[in-house]
Amino acid sequence: DRCLVDLRRSALPSSAQACKPTRSMATTTTPQQQQAAPGTTTQAGPAEDDEEEDEGADEAGFTMPEVVILGSSPNAANHLRDIGDEAVWSLSTAKPGNGVEELRDNNLETYWQSDGGQPHLINLQFHRKMSISEIAFYLDYSLDESYTPKKVSVRSGTTFHDLVEVRSVDLNEPTGWVVVPLVAPKRNAYNALTRTDDDDSIVTDDRILRCFFLQVCVVSMHQNGRDTHVRQARIFGPRTPVDAAVDLTGLGFRPGGYLSRFAVLR
């Protein structure tokens, strides 16, 4: 009997050692084994790759509208309206007698002239989120020469602190109205097919730019000039159903100036 007990005691350690690898193998799984395990539904890696490919294809298939220079005033097209009167305009600097009033007086003989270090800024603050289609400037290299902007950057956002560049334009001795179409960055794209705007705007482009704050930055001038001249500036947005109804009456009202004072049209 004593020999039998000794044999059982000597067998216990080997049995315990034999059990340890079994427990370890049952509870430990490598990341590769987890990914290959049957029944797994998470495929974050491939899904992210597919999404990146789709985004690249969308960007590759999108063509940025071209900047054009017009000899005459860019009157609002049938699908656009002038929204300049709905914004508060301000400038980074200005010489006395050459400020916002001269920039917006519809007179090509007057102009805004900056008075300070570069860059020079035109700021537009809207009281509500606006849809913006294009912005236009009147420049005249033959008169202003080194004061004429050479590179312009357009930025949008909610305030000064979150501006994102939406368009950068290089100019070569421009004379006339420089019309710059604007579209939203992809991450801020507004999809008119799946979302209804609070002001019931008619939006046909899912890349329409929408913002509270728009900034035009004159980055550099011709001939390495220091200050800049911009003779006029106008901004346009898509028409709303109210605008279309007013146009049908033939009364010629400007919704941005007069009709926007009223909440309801009867």
For 192-228, letters b (16+ CB in 10 Å) and e give beeeeeeeebebebebbbbbbbbbbbbbbbbeebebb
Give the mean pLDDT per block of 10 residues along the chain (266 residues). 53 46 40 43 43 45 76 72 95 96 96 94 96 95 97 95 94 95 67 40 61 96 96 91 48 47 44
- Interval 178-195: pLDDT, tens: 999 998 876 444 444 333
